[in-house]
Chains A and B, each alone.
Chain A
């Protein structure tokens, strides 16, 4: 079940980070909800969430937008989407997602984020299977950044897969 409460922390976090890191004020475009697979833009940063909120968050943008963002972020002009530019974009996704989890925590949902994965390649399909996706386009001077949120509340009992019960004596083994 998609929870719209999970959306605001990400939008707020993105706005704050974009303002602070690259001096851009994004405008939010119209939201959409879909179950179908996503067709990638040039660049997609993928970060997974585990904990009370689980799923995946993706940030999609064109190469030009990516280059503009890292150029502003690092104070040097990037002409090529090289390793440094890639790590810059991934780091931005990481910072936004991290900030969003702090807000989620304040709202009563704890989650941890995975390291970011960077996917380059247009027209590749990413399926989040039975997680429906909220699509939040953010329009900036540097171009559009699309946030895809495929998140849900973890079913109770599934939040800590490997919780080790302290009452079990150390000699026994769990399979």
Chain B
């Protein structure tokens, strides 16, 4: 886990939460975790493939999720229904997407997967040999924790731009 991947995510989270939820978030202390993550009420899972690969989690409790979805949708939601769920998943999607664009400008091109939403406290998530960088953000909605389990990709697949430039033969 390299800290240069970190700033795009923090910036993206600040910007998106400011724009969509009209809240300024404060960053808490960063932590590096090798152990498993025990889930909160809601966890949005977005994977990345490319120059940077791995998985990003956004975790929060129900109250924070409702606050965020209500703010995004512009109406007060009473229960964690599928609309509220899609609001939270969309938040994770937009933040990760924005971060990947910033990473692109820094030279790291990646594609992000569609988001998956995990609901239920107490499940154990392991990102295996990817260490997780924990970024807690607090603000009016409550606490949102961003977990970054990322590292530089090994270019197993296609990379952009998808034009191969032949290597010049070595002069002997």
* A residues adjacent to B (C-beta < 8 A): 37, 40, 46-51, 54-56, 83, 86-87, 90, 110, 112-121, 123-131, 150, 160-164, 166, 173-175
Q: How large is the interface on B (under 10, 10 to 19, 20 to 34, 35 or more residues)?
A: 35 or more
B48 located at the interface, meaning its Cβ lies under 8 Å from any Cβ of chain A in the complex: yes
CB-CB nearest in chain B for A91: B128
B61 located at the interface, meaning its Cβ lies under 8 Å from any Cβ of chain A in the complex: no
- In Å, the complex CA distance between A129 and B92 comes to 13
**Could you mark each residue 111-131 of chain B with 1 if its beta carbon is under 8 Å from any beta carbon of chain A, else 0?**
111111111101111111110
Whether A51 touches B111, Cβ cut-off 8 Å, given contacts A114-B47, A166-B161, is yes
Contact residues in B for A115 (Cβ distance below 8 Å) = 47, 53-55, 127-128, 130, 149
Contact residues in A for B124 (Cβ distance below 8 Å) = 119-121
- In Å, the complex CA distance between A115 and B89 comes to 20
- Number of A-B residue pairs, CB cutoff 8 Å, is 152
Whether A119 touches B125, Cβ cut-off 8 Å, given contacts A56-B116, A110-B158, is yes
The 6 closest A-B pairs by CB, nearest first: A121-B123, A114-B47, A48-B113, A124-B120, A48-B47, A112-B157
Distance in Å from the Cβ of A54 to the closest Cβ of chain B?
6
Asked whether, in the complex, the Cβ of B54 is within 8 Å of the Cβ of A173, the reply is no
Distance in Å from the Cβ of B127 to the closest Cβ of chain A?
6
